[in-house]
Amino acid sequence: MPYEFLSENHPYAPVKEAQALLSLLDTEGQSIERIRNEIGSSNPFRARVLMHFDCLAARRRTDGTIGRRTNLTPGIREQIATLLKTKKVVEITRTLGVDYHTVRKVGRALGDFENRRLRTKLTLDQIEQANRALKHGGG
């Protein structure tokens, strides 16, 4: 998208300016610190541009793209598939370091549409034992 010139009063002007300055990192000899020094913070507009540039630069990965990409190996997919049978999605995300959406996506691909939020923490044997105790008046 070509750079659009917006007035300083436009609400998206600092964001657009920061995005344009972020593209300078692709040129040789430019670094984050050098661009930060060029931006400065002499007025409120420049301070907002600097804040947005810092946010964008923090999200920028070493390959130049922005965001978080999860590279799933077949081994991780198999682990997710086996753990989905016994654990909640949140527990899987913590143990494997994969985001929630990825775990749900693998589960849906396997035909798993179960809502685990309401899953009981009791085993089937414990539930049967409690049912027998209630039938016989224990409790």
The model's pLDDT over 54-104, given as tens digits with 9 standing for 90+, comes to: 888 877 765 555 555 556 788 888 888 888 888 888 888 888 878 888 888
| One domain for residues 79 and 124 | yes
Q: pLDDT band at 4, cuts 50/70/90?
A: low
Per the CB < 8 A criterion, the answer to whether 126 and 134 are in contact is no
Res 66: pLDDT: 56
Phi-psi region of 10 (alpha: psi -120 to 50; beta: other; left: phi over 0): beta
Domain count, the chain: 2
Range of the domain at 32: 1-68
What's the rounded mean pLDDT across residues 17-34? 85
Q: pLDDT band at 14, cuts 50/70/90?
A: confident
What's the rounded mean pLDDT across residues 9-22? 82
| One domain for residues 56 and 79 | no
Res 1: pLDDT: 42
User: Which pTM does this prediction carry?
Assistant: 0.43
| One domain for residues 43 and 91 | no
CB neighbourhood size of 22 (10 A): 19
- DSSP letter at 121 equals S
Res 120: pLDDT: 64
| One domain for residues 3 and 63 | yes
pLDDT higher than 80, residue 5: no
- Domain endpoint, select from 16, 44, 68: 68
| One domain for residues 63 and 78 | no
Tokens of 100: 């929630």
Torsion on CA atoms 68, 63, 46, 30, rounded to nearest 10: 170
| One domain for residues 5 and 63 | yes
pLDDT higher than 50, residue 9: yes
- Domain endpoint, select from 42, 68, 94: 68
- Domain endpoint, select from 68, 103, 126: 68
Q: In percent, how much of the chain has pLDDT > 70?
A: 78
